[in-house]
Amino acid sequence: MIVRPRLSWLRMLFVLRGSVLPKIWIQLSVIATMATVVTWSRGNLLGWHVGLTYVPFTSIGVALAIFLGFRNTASYERYWEARKLWGGMLNASRTLTRQTIVWIGDDGHARSFVHRLIGFVHALRHQLRGTDSLPELTPLVDSDLLASLRSAHSRPSLILQSLGRSLGEAVKRGDLHPQLASTMEAGMVELTDVLGGCERIANTPIPFAYSVIVHRTVYIYCFLLPFGLISNIGILTPLMVTFVAYTFLALDALNEELEEPFGAMPNDLPLTALSTGIEITLRELLGEIPLPAVTIARDFVLP
């Protein structure tokens, strides 16, 4: 995700990184070229005059804009739900860390618990992005758990199981009252809900047929539009067609990015920044200051 201060209105007009223009400039160039050819030929295609007017394009354009708006809403809901889930994970992690430090008291057990909690956050990020989490988990978990994680299908789930087992052992040792353990278990349940919610978003995309309909309609509309405008605006046809095409193609491309919020595209969630921020917060609660070689990493940073 792009992380930057708000730009002036002039820079917003020409900014490229973070916009979808680099992704659609080839399609825009093809459409602009075709509109230029249609203008030069005065609406003739292979010797046949295409007698279209702007009237059907007005109705179709309104319907297409509404359709794109609905898809944008569906995509943004997925994006915002993912962001709320990660915000909930931050709150649950802070609460569990505070409860562990205050109620269990044993520095060794508390530190091990919180480090595994940090490992859960990083493991979830890597699972959602399909990358290897072992390099980051190695300094955070013990050797037995690390051996189990190497062959695990769902590493975050296995770490949660280890955390739950630690709570049970603390109760058996008498370090944690059963009622307090029940309260901490509620936080563990919240983390389980976050894991399930993220997996639901990642594994259930917007129906493919829905995306195909929008995609096809946008391109057919843009390719036919020059024939409907040439008789009314003449040489300005390529300019207007390119502007309309940019609007529709940009919305279509942006929707594709937003519907997969856990990726590494410029408009996806900054999971690296979020997970590193959680790690820094939890390490500060443990009193690990100065922090051991942890920086606030961001997926994309612009001045």
Q: Does the structure show a pLDDT above 90 at 6? A: no
Gap between the Cα atoms of 233 and 244, Å rounded: 14
Task: Say what the pTM is.
Answer: 0.85
Provide the token pair at 18.
């973070």
Going by pLDDT thresholds of 50, 70 and 90, the confidence category of residue 262 is: very high
Lowest mean pLDDT among 130-134, 205-209, 210-214, 287-291: 287-291
Which pLDDT belongs to residue 47? 65
Q: Minimal CA–CA distance to 123: which of 101, 98, 140, 107?
A: 140
Q: Does the structure show a pLDDT above 80 at 204? A: yes
Going by pLDDT thresholds of 50, 70 and 90, the confidence category of residue 20 is: confident
Contact between 278 and 89 under an 8 Å Cβ cutoff? The reply is yes
- Can you give the residue ranges of every domain in the chain? 2-301
Going by pLDDT thresholds of 50, 70 and 90, the confidence category of residue 283 is: very high
Mean pLDDT (the chain) is: 86
Determine whether 206 is exposed, middle or buried from the number of CB atoms within 10 Å of its CB (0-12, 13-18, 19+).
middle
DSSP helix/strand/coil, 50 = coil
**What does the pLDDT average to over 188-214?**
92
- Alpha carbon 236 to its chain centroid, in Å, reads 38
Question: To the nearest whole percent, how much of the chain has pLDDT over 90?
Answer: 51
Q: Nearest 5°: phi and psi at 17? A: -70, 125
The 10 Å Cβ neighbour count of residue 8 is 7
